[in-house]
Amino acid sequence: MATPAAWAAACERFRTSLSLSQVESQKDPENDPYKSKYRARELLQEVKALLGPAADEDEDEEAGGGPGAEEGPAAERAGPGAGAEPSTRAVRLAAVELQLGLNHLDTEELAAGEEHLQNCLRLVRRSRLEPAAVSLHLQAQNNLGILWSERDEIETAQTYLESAEALYNQYMKEIGNPPLDPNEHFLPEEEKLTEQERSRRFEKAYTHTLYYLAQVYQHLEMIEKAAQYCHTTLKRQLEYSGYHPVEWAINAATLSQYYINKQCFMESRHCLSAASVIFSQAEQTPSTEDTETEQDQQDLRQRKAEIARCWIKYCLNLLQNAQASLEDNIGELDLDKQAELKAQRKREEDEKENGRKKVVLFGTSDVCDAILAMEEKVACVPPLDFREAREVFLVGQNYVFEAKEYFQVDGYITDHIEIVQDHSSLFKVLAFFEEDYERRCKMHKRRIDMLEPLTVDLNPQYYLLINRQLQFELAHTYYEMMDLKVAIANRLEELDSHTIKKINSLAQSAIKYYELFLDSLKDPNKVFPEQLGEDVLRPALVAKFHIARLYGKLITSDGRKELDNMQASLEYYTFLVDYCERYPEAVRAVDTELELSKEMAGLLPAKMERLRAKLSPFT
């Protein structure tokens, strides 16, 4: 550095260039979007000229090496206290190179950007564990990571970012005091940052490293690792107060859904509780601007409903998971399994979970306590009996009401119906735990009552999928209710006419909805497809099969009618058998159903013959 005047000029240009590229560039005209960036770049070049060339000793290492180059002897020399105190000029040049690199990346000149970033790395390579240089090195590596990902070379990006991660860890372990910010080298003494601010900026840069790594791992399909890095990013955002509450809450709630897929209910619950707690912070902070309040309120309400929907899924999955572990081969509660799981739970208590918990915990003191309090409201181990199941059910149901407040039928058809479907599923799995058949039947009736009205007005041309789902679910629910009524009736001495009527009407309703579903598969000219698409193959064949069985279950004392029902039944069974003969690849989808259909198609004609013979003398 020649003179103090030259240094002052350099400082001023550097700072102007920063403000040009960070503030002014926002206002650049659309037809000249990089105007300020180009001016900033010129200034940086001037600063570089003012600083003069780097000293020779900094150039002696291999040039242009990737992150791998650091494993050479140079890297070993660079331990703490290895006399690697960087020359002031080298650090300043590195800071300029970093800015130039960023500038070229911003203006889509990747190759030039890469060169500047490499220059930056080279200048501080040996001193990268020094407080003056570590941040420069870290940020240059972050940006090289971005650069290579833009070139679709994710693996290269990964090496840079992992190396940045390692640098942070090594620095924090061996040095630890808050390092200088890359732009601080050009600030006058009195404007130097506080230790706290330095630390905040350094931690933020490292949070970015983790965040980029999360994306890299996702692109490389290392899903578990990606999730872990997302989790850590969220955690650090919270610790360093670098977050927008609503956005953070939504991210955490979404992450909870990942954990649901993995059946990690403890982690899922923690994410959801944190989402709710942080979200309530946003609700409490009144909006400063009056102008946008309504839109903001609307948005907040929607976000709240979204988080509620994540909670619903949590409760539902927890219950369904419990059902899966408790049911026997015909889908009923297996008492032996129940006893076994209860004993097992006693043995384990929360031992395992406590260990895991430390790793994933969000927040510090206050927030953490609030989150833990939130967690206590619902279990994270699958319920084992009706009482436990009901508790989870009730929590889920409350969130159903909350979500429906925003997602009303008018304007949010799909969302609204999805929520009602979840509500119905909650009842369905709760019914599994209910031992009393009459009460179980009533639960299914509740499902019918909530689903049936939805199908009335829905235009199937726009809501085909949802319409089919509703029809199928209604059909199946009626079918289940009929089965329950039959089971109840079997315990009776003899069938009274009321029960018979009930069973028949449930069966007729089930048939009606299965037929509606099958009708929805027809083309606009009302023709049933010759070959079923793969996505509807099983549902369609199951519908046919169930209709066949339903005709078999209808109770009538009229022989003619009985014969008609058997005839209908036979036709549906035959459809299944014929279809699978024509398209053998369908067999796989309806293995069991096909076997039974074949059997019935074989038996029915003989049975019908006998009935006909019995009837004929009277005609």
Q: Which of residues 539-598 bind other proteins (CB under 8 A)?
A: 539, 542, 546, 592-593, 596
> x/- string (CB under 8 A) for other proteins, residues 420-449?
--x--x------------------------
Q: How far is the CB of 57 from other proteins (least distance, A)?
A: 34
Report the alpha-carbon distance of residue 453 to residue 447 in Å, rounded.
11
Specify whether the CB–CB gap between 615 and 559 falls below 8 A: yes
Report the alpha-carbon distance of residue 373 to residue 304 in Å, rounded.
19
Find how far residue 599's CA is from the centre of its chain. 45
Contact set for other proteins, span 324-383 (CB under 8 A): 330-331
Ramachandran angles phi, psi of 429, nearest 5°? -75, -30
Q: How far is the CB of 519 from other proteins (least distance, A)?
A: 13
Report the alpha-carbon distance of residue 85 to residue 157 in Å, rounded.
29
- Cβ distance to other proteins smaller for residue 301 or 538: 538
The one among 119, 251, 273, 574 contacting other proteins by CB under 8 A: 251
Contact set for other proteins, span 37-96 (CB under 8 A): none
On the 0-12 / 13-18 / 19+ scale of CB atoms within 10 A, 564 is: middle
Which among 33, 178, 7 is positioned nearest to 92, based on CA atoms? Answer: 7
- Cβ distance to other proteins smaller for residue 257 or 499: 257
Q: How far is the CB of 251 from other proteins (least distance, A)?
A: 5
- Cβ distance to other proteins smaller for residue 159 or 233: 233
- Cβ distance to other proteins smaller for residue 78 or 466: 466
- Cβ distance to other proteins smaller for residue 118 or 139: 139
Contact set for other proteins, span 381-400 (CB under 8 A): none
- Cβ distance to other proteins smaller for residue 218 or 504: 218
- Cβ distance to other proteins smaller for residue 55 or 587: 587
Number of residues that bind other proteins (CB under 8 A): 88
User: Does position 272 bind other proteins by CB under 8 A?
Assistant: no
- Cβ distance to other proteins smaller for residue 91 or 318: 318
Q: How far is the CB of 577 from other proteins (least distance, A)?
A: 16
> x/- string (CB under 8 A) for other proteins, residues 453-482?
----xxxxxxxxx--xx--xx--x------
Report the alpha-carbon distance of residue 60 to residue 65 in Å, rounded.
12
- Cβ distance to other proteins smaller for residue 124 or 600: 600
Q: For the chain, give the longest Cα–Cα distance.
A: 125
Q: How far is the CB of 404 from other proteins (least distance, A)?
A: 14
User: Does position 280 bind other proteins by CB under 8 A?
Assistant: no
Q: How far is the CB of 83 from other proteins (least distance, A)?
A: 36
Q: How far is the CB of 464 from other proteins (least distance, A)?
A: 4
Specify whether the CB–CB gap between 441 and 482 falls below 8 A: no
Q: For the stretch 334-351, what's the b/e string if a residue is b when 16 or more beta carbons lie within 10 angstroms of its beta carbon?
A: beeebeebeeeeeeeeee
CA gyration radius, the chain = 34
User: Does position 165 bind other proteins by CB under 8 A?
Assistant: no
> x/- string (CB under 8 A) for other proteins, residues 21-40?
---------x----------
Q: How far is the CB of 436 from other proteins (least distance, A)?
A: 19
- Cβ distance to other proteins smaller for residue 44 or 260: 260
User: Does position 200 bind other proteins by CB under 8 A?
Assistant: no
Ramachandran angles phi, psi of 294, nearest 5°? -65, -45
The one among 98, 136, 157, 371 contacting other proteins by CB under 8 A: 157
Which among 579, 556, 580, 571 is positioned nearest to 604, based on CA atoms? Answer: 571
Q: How far is the CB of 425 from other proteins (least distance, A)?
A: 8
Contact set for other proteins, span 504-523 (CB under 8 A): 517
Report the alpha-carbon distance of residue 332 to residue 472 in Å, rounded.
21
The one among 150, 349, 350, 438 contacting other proteins by CB under 8 A: 150
- Cβ distance to other proteins smaller for residue 123 or 429: 429
Q: Which residues pair with 327 in a beta bridge?
A: 333
User: Residues in the chain, how many?
Assistant: 619
- Cβ distance to other proteins smaller for residue 330 or 613: 330
The one among 412, 437, 452, 577 contacting other proteins by CB under 8 A: 412
Contact set for other proteins, span 94-133 (CB under 8 A): none
The one among 4, 188, 411, 584 contacting other proteins by CB under 8 A: 411
Name all contacts of 235-244 with Cβ < 8 Å and 24+ positions apart.
235/360, 235/361, 235/362, 236/203, 236/206, 236/207, 236/210, 237/207, 238/274, 238/278, 238/362, 238/363, 238/364, 238/367, 239/363, 239/364, 240/200, 240/203, 240/204, 240/207, 242/204, 242/207, 243/278
- Cβ distance to other proteins smaller for residue 135 or 158: 158
548: helix, strand or coil: helix
Q: How far is the CB of 247 from other proteins (least distance, A)?
A: 7
Q: How far is the CB of 182 from other proteins (least distance, A)?
A: 16
Q: How far is the CB of 214 from other proteins (least distance, A)?
A: 5
DSSP state of 384: -
Residue located via tokens 């001023």: 12
Specify whether the CB–CB gap between 95 and 182 falls below 8 A: yes
Q: How far is the CB of 591 from other proteins (least distance, A)?
A: 10
Contact set for other proteins, span 206-235 (CB under 8 A): 207-208, 211-212, 214-216, 218-219, 223, 226-227, 230, 233-234
- Cβ distance to other proteins smaller for residue 247 or 405: 247
- Cβ distance to other proteins smaller for residue 52 or 529: 529
Q: Which residues pair with 83 in a beta bridge?
A: none
Specify whether the CB–CB gap between 85 and 96 falls below 8 A: no
Report the alpha-carbon distance of residue 231 to residue 228 in Å, rounded.
5
Which among 112, 220, 65 is positioned nearest to 157, based on CA atoms? Answer: 220
> x/- string (CB under 8 A) for other proteins, residues 287-326?
----------------x--xx-xx-xx--xx--x------
Which among 146, 109, 114 is positioned nearest to 34, based on CA atoms? Answer: 109
Q: For the stretch 190-210, what's the b/e string if a residue is b when 16 or more beta carbons lie within 10 angstroms of its beta carbon?
A: eeebeeeebbbbbbebbbbbb
530: helix, strand or coil: coil
